Every structure is written in C-alpha cells, then in structure tokens.
A and B are shown apart, each in its own frame.
Chain A
Amino acid sequence: MGELFHLEDVTKVYKMGEVEVRALDGVSFAIQRGEFLAIMGPSGSGKSTVMHLLGCLDRPTSGRMVLDGLDLLKASDNQLAEIRNAKIGFVFQQFNLLPRESALRNVETPAIYAGMKRSERVRRARELLERVGLGDRLFHFPSQLSGGERQRVAIARALMNDPAIVLADEPTGNLDTKTGEEILTLFRNLHKEGRTVVLVTHDRRVAEYASRILHMQDGRILKEERVN
C-alpha cells in the first residue's frame, strides 16, 4: 500500500489582528494509499482545517507535511494548484457549485483547467452525471437542483479528473438519511475502485463506513480507532 500523506507535528495558526487562533496544535498522522479514513470531532476541533491541508488548499504554519514524497510546505502555488486539479477530488460541505454554470459545465470545470479537449470533456462529464443518477439534469443550474442532487453534482465534479484521492467534508450533513446513505454508497464504491477516501463527519454511523476513525478535539488528535 504505502504512505500517501504524512503529517508530523503540523500546526495551523490563524492570526486575527492581535489574537492567534491555533486551529491545529501539533497534529501527526499518516494516510495509507487506498485507505478509507473518517475524521470525527466536535465543532471547531479543526476537522475542516485538516481537510483543507489534505486538499492542498492551504499550507501548514509549521510542522512537516508530505504528499507522495512532495514537501507541501515548500511547494509553489502552481504546484499546489496542479495537485488539486489532478490528484484530489474535493467535495465541500456547502457543495460549492458555480452558481451561474449548468450541472454539466460544473462537472467539466476541473477538466477545463487540466486542458482536456472539449468533446472528451463533455462526454466524460455526462458519463459521471449519469453514474450519480443525474443523467436527466445535465442543463439544470444549481439553484434548480435539490440538496442531494447538488451534492451528487459536486461528487461527479470531484471525480472529473479521475483523482486518486477523494476528500469530503461532511458530505451527508445536509441530507436526509436515505439520500445520505445513497451518497455514502457512492463513496464506498469509490474506495472499492482503489481511491483513497477521507470523510469528515459528526455521525458515528457514517464514520463506520470507513476502516479507520480519527477523533479530534481542540486542534489535536484525541485518538485513533480501527473499525471493521
């Protein structure tokens, strides 16, 4: 399997004027290639902050963080953008769809930045939307979709560039139980395809879909738990 992510004594400090907020306070853990990991913890414990670091949206304030042998503290903005584009599919808690673009166009977007040819891009985006059960919603705008549908568009978009890593920050938080389970099944299938999946959740039952659970509190890792 091998190590994919390696974090060592990672801190993230937000400065708000005079006040410093230690969102992460010395976090160390590793993620294996092909693992299905869940992160749990109370609100404000630093789960989203960790996800942003894993998603290469942000750099740690200090510590060591390595992805696939690359030191992320030293990586340039462009390198991070390339990693986000090619290796990582991020599913946000608030969906974060582009409001003025159709579902199809939303799914296409990562491929636009990857420089994929238009015809191929459209074909693949269609396929992905069909796979998440939205084959008949291609030209709907986000405002014309239900919460579950938006979440599925977001997942299709995350898969557009066939990423090795899928990160999802509370993907079921806003959904009813049934839709939530459908979404979780999708993630389980992604894991079965060999992708590394990291989920953030409040919900114990959701976390149990994973093989390992990381418990966080006050910017630290409280404990690690193996399930299944």
Chain B
Amino acid sequence: MLRTTINSLSAHKLRTALSVLGILIGVASVIAMISVGQGATYDIRSRVESLGADLVTVSPAFRVGRAGVASAQITETFTLELADELAKAPAVRDVVPVIQTNGTIKYRDRNLQTTLMGVTPAYPSVVNYPVARGRFFSAQDLENYAKVLVLGSEVAQQLFPDEDPLGKEVVLERAGTRFLFTIIGVMTSKGQLGFGQYDNRIYLPVTTVARRITGDRTVNFYNLRVASTDQVDEAIAQVEFILSRRISNPEDYRVRAQQDIIETVNQNAITMTFLLGGIAAIALLVGGIGIMNILLVSVVERTREIGIRKALGAKRRDILWQFLTESVFVSVLGGVMGLLMGVGAAALIASFSRWPLIVPSYAVFLALGFSLIVGLIFGVYPAARAARLDPVEALRYE
C-alpha cells in the first residue's frame, strides 16, 4: 500500500512538495512561536527571580490624573525613620529606604550621566546583589554621612576602562553643585531588569544623599526582605497595617511582593505563548486546507484510476485508505520537517537573544499530533469522495 502512496505522490513532485511546505510552515511556526515564548518568559522570570521571591517593595502609588505627584501625606510619611518603623514588623527582616536621583559622575576627562541610589548597608543582601570588589558602605559610613560610593559594574567599565577604580576620587555633580566622593567598591554584574538598570547606577549612603546632595529626606521607595519565604503575605499585611495608621488613603501607596510580579510575568507569558501558538495554529490550518485542495484536484484527476482499482476489486475502504494515507503521509512528512525547521529557528532566535532554547515536549507532540490530525481531517473528505465513486462512471471519465 505504501508503494502505491509513494508512487502517486512522486508522480506529482511539485504538488506534493507544496502541500508538504504548507504543513511544514505551520508546524515550524507553532514550534518556533512556543519556544520563543517560553524562552522569553524564562529570561524575564529568571531576571525577576534573581532579586529573590521574598522581596517586597513599598512605593507611592501614582494615580491617574496626578501624574508623578505623590500626596502630601506620602511625602511626609516616606522618611528614613519610617524604615525603622517598618523593620519592627515581625515578618520583616530588613528594610532599605531608597532615595533615587540623577546626576553626573566625573573622573578626569570622562563623565557619565547616571542614577544615584541612596541606600543602606543591607541593600546588597536585600536585593540579592553582592559586591564584586572592594566593600559596600557600613553603618558607620551611614552615620557619618560619609562621601563614599560603590559603582555598578557598567559604570565602572565606562569610567575606568583600564584602571582600578578602588580608592579613586570622583566628582559627583547634581543641579550645579559638585561633591568629591571616594570609590570603595564595585558591584557584580546583574544584567538588565525591566527598566531598572542596576549596573548603570552608583550606590551611596542614603543619609549622605538626603543631607548633602538632595537636601530632601523623602524616600522614593522601600525594599523589604521578608523574614522567611513563606511569610510574604504576613509581611505585606503587617506593613500595610503600619502604613494605614499614617496614611489615610490606602490607594496612595502600594505594597508589592516580587512573587506577585513573577506571577504576573508568568500569566502574561502564558497568554503570549498561547497567542503566538494560536496564530501559528492558523498557519497549520491553512496548510491543511492546502492539502485538501490538492487532494480534491487529485481525486478528480484520478477518477479513472479509481474506477480501474474498483474494477479490480478494491473496496470503498481500500480507496479511502489510499487517499487518507497520501494525505497523512504528506502532512506528517511536513510535520517532521517543520519540527526540525521550527527548532532550528527557535535555536537561532535564542542564540541571538541569549536566552536558553526551550522546546517543551508538549509542543513537539502538539505539532506532530496536530499535523497528523490535519492530514486525517482534511484527507477524509476527498478520500470519501474518491471511495464513493461508482466504478462504471469512473471508468467512463475522460
């Protein structure tokens, strides 16, 4: 039987190739889309997770209509002292108040626009971001409003391409005022995380920033490390309770766990993967219709052949199988080739985007199963038409 299939498929090589191509493109795009979706998700998730799932952020909520302006209560409440209050919550281990501002860092003839992060010594452990060389500043530095800073790896790269930055003095310039700081450390490289570019920032004692640089004690946000991973919800509840006594409108601030962000990312990723997969599935469907079209033409064209076969004793079932085998053969061939192409394309995209190549086994089964089903479904109608032909009529066909 397979000989018959191969014979008749190879009699119309171009036609067969085009049907195969239709399925191939469909399956390849399903595989590539799902793989790209998974790879991208993995990438985002691993970046978010690198901060630790038990990280909680307390920040002002900027509401529509008041773009960028926090309420007066927030400005009053978000202070360095509040950090100590928040730290009293039993489920909270550490609190880092963060004052964030922009400035220019200068060393000799080089200067760089950068983000100044006023933080506390707990910062590296709270956001899971250790120092690579030198040291982070100490509680002592914090008390003394010390003029020391730690560079993000990218800043260190650009400012000191071939020098050791440790111990060097740099000039910080903000709003026309200049300050002299000493570099005491360089952070590890963290890669990009959403919009926050950790590596392109510099880290200073929060007290120094508040007193010497901005002159403003308002904290932009707090990073909290929860006592243990299973206490995230408790920590959030305790923090919200503390805040509720100071800020009347709970919509003025936001307490978010990194966990929630990870979940959001996952949700979005699932949606995206299915969307991409769905679009690709439509391509597969179009390929299936292509097979059906070609088979229908082929049935008409081979009416006489069908008549001869029936005259020789082929039953309906035999003719049905013959055409079904052809369509399944074509679609599975396209499926297997599409699988290879899809994995190839996904590998290419993954290597460009530097994320891991993930081809979930369900995607492979889905694509192959789908192509098999497409072959069956779109083969059945033409095959049934062929099988139904009346032998005498078919033999008369010119």
Chain A residues packing against B (C-beta within 8 Å): 52, 55, 57-58, 77-78, 81-82, 84-86, 90, 92, 96-101, 105, 109-110, 112-114, 157, 161
- Given A98-B305, A99-B305, the answer on whether A113 and B392 have CB atoms closer than 8 Å is no
Task: Among A52, A55, A78, A100, find the residue whose CB has the most chain B CB atoms closer than 10 A.
Answer: A100
The minimal Cβ–Cβ distance linking A174 to chain B, given in whole angstroms, is 16
Residues of B within 8 A of A86 (CB): 313
For the residues of B in contact with A, the DSSP-based class is helix
Q: Which residues of A contact B311 (CB under 8 A)?
A: 55, 57, 84, 90, 92, 96
Report if B217 contacts A (CB, 8 A). Answer: no
- Beyond A85-B314, A109-B312, 10 additional pairs, beta carbon < 8 A: A52-B392, A57-B395, A77-B315, A81-B314, A96-B307, A98-B308, A99-B305, A100-B7, A112-B4, A113-B312
B57 interfacial by beta-carbon distance below 8 Å:
no
Of the candidates A57, A105, A109, A161, which one forms a contact with B309 in the assembled complex, judged by CB atoms under 8 Å apart? A109
Confirm or deny: B1 has a beta carbon within 8 angstroms of a beta carbon on chain A.
yes
B187 to chain A, nearest CB (A): 72
Q: How far is the CA of A96 from the CA of B392 in the complex (A)?
A: 12
B287-307 Cβ-contact flags toward A at 8 Å (1 or 0): 000000000000000001101
B8 within 8 Å of A by Cβ? yes
> Are A110 and B7 interface neighbours, CB within 8 A?
no
Also in contact, A100 and B8, with CB within 8 A (given A57-B395, A92-B395): yes
| Contact residues on B (Cβ < 8 Å of other chain), bracket | 20 to 34
Is A113 a contact of B313 with CB atoms below 8 Å? Answer: yes
Decide: A81 and B310 in contact? CB cutoff 8 A. yes
The 5 A-B pairs with the shortest beta carbon distances in the complex, nearest first, are: A85-B313, A113-B313, A81-B315, A110-B312, A57-B391
B→A interface (CB under 8 Å): 1, 3-4, 7-8, 11, 304-305, 307-316, 318, 390-392, 395
| Total A-B Cβ pairs within 8 A | 66
Q: How far is the CA of A82 from the CA of B318 in the complex (A)?
A: 12
A164 to B121, CA, bound (A): 102
A77 to B11, CA, bound (A): 30
A58 adjacent to B391 (CB under 8 Å) = yes
In Å, the complex CA distance between A1 and B385 comes to: 42
Shortest Cβ distance from A83 into B: residue: B313
Could you say which residues of chain B place their CB within 8 Å of the CB of A97?
A: 308
Minimum CB–CB distance for A123 against chain B, Å: 17
Measured in the bound complex, the distance between the Cα atoms of B111 and A39 in whole Å is 109
Query: A55, A105, A109: which has the most chain B beta carbons within 10 Å?
Result: A109
Which residues of A sit under 8 angstroms from B308, Cβ to Cβ?
A: 96-98
**In whole angstroms, how far apart are the Cα atoms of A86 and B315 in the complex?**
12
Q: Which residue of B lies closest to A79 (CB)?
A: B315
Q: With the chains together, A85 CA to B308 CA distance in Å?
A: 12
The answer to whether A57 and B392 touch across the interface, beta carbons within 8 angstroms, is yes
Residue of A nearest to B388 (CB): A77
Question: Distance in Å from the Cβ of A96 to the closest Cβ of chain B?
Answer: 5
Partner of B1, one of A58, A77, A78, A112: A112
Q: Which residue of B lies closest to A88 (CB)?
A: B313
Please determine whether B314 and A58 come into contact, CB atoms closer than 8 angstroms.
Answer: no
Closest to A161 in B: B313
CB distance from B322 to the nearest CB of A (A): 11
Q: Which residue of chain A has its CB nearest to the CB of B313?
A: A85
Inter-subunit contact A82/B11 (CB<8 Å): no
Can you give 14 A-B contacts (C-beta < 8 A)? A57-B311, A81-B315, A81-B316, A84-B312, A84-B313, A96-B311, A98-B309, A100-B8, A100-B305, A101-B7, A109-B309, A110-B313, A112-B1, A113-B315
Residues of A within 8 Å of B1, CB to CB, are 112
Instruction: Point out the residues of chain B lying under 8 angstroms from A78, CB to CB.
Output: 315-316
B144 to chain A, nearest CB (A): 93
Chain B residues with CB below 8 A from A157, complex form: 312
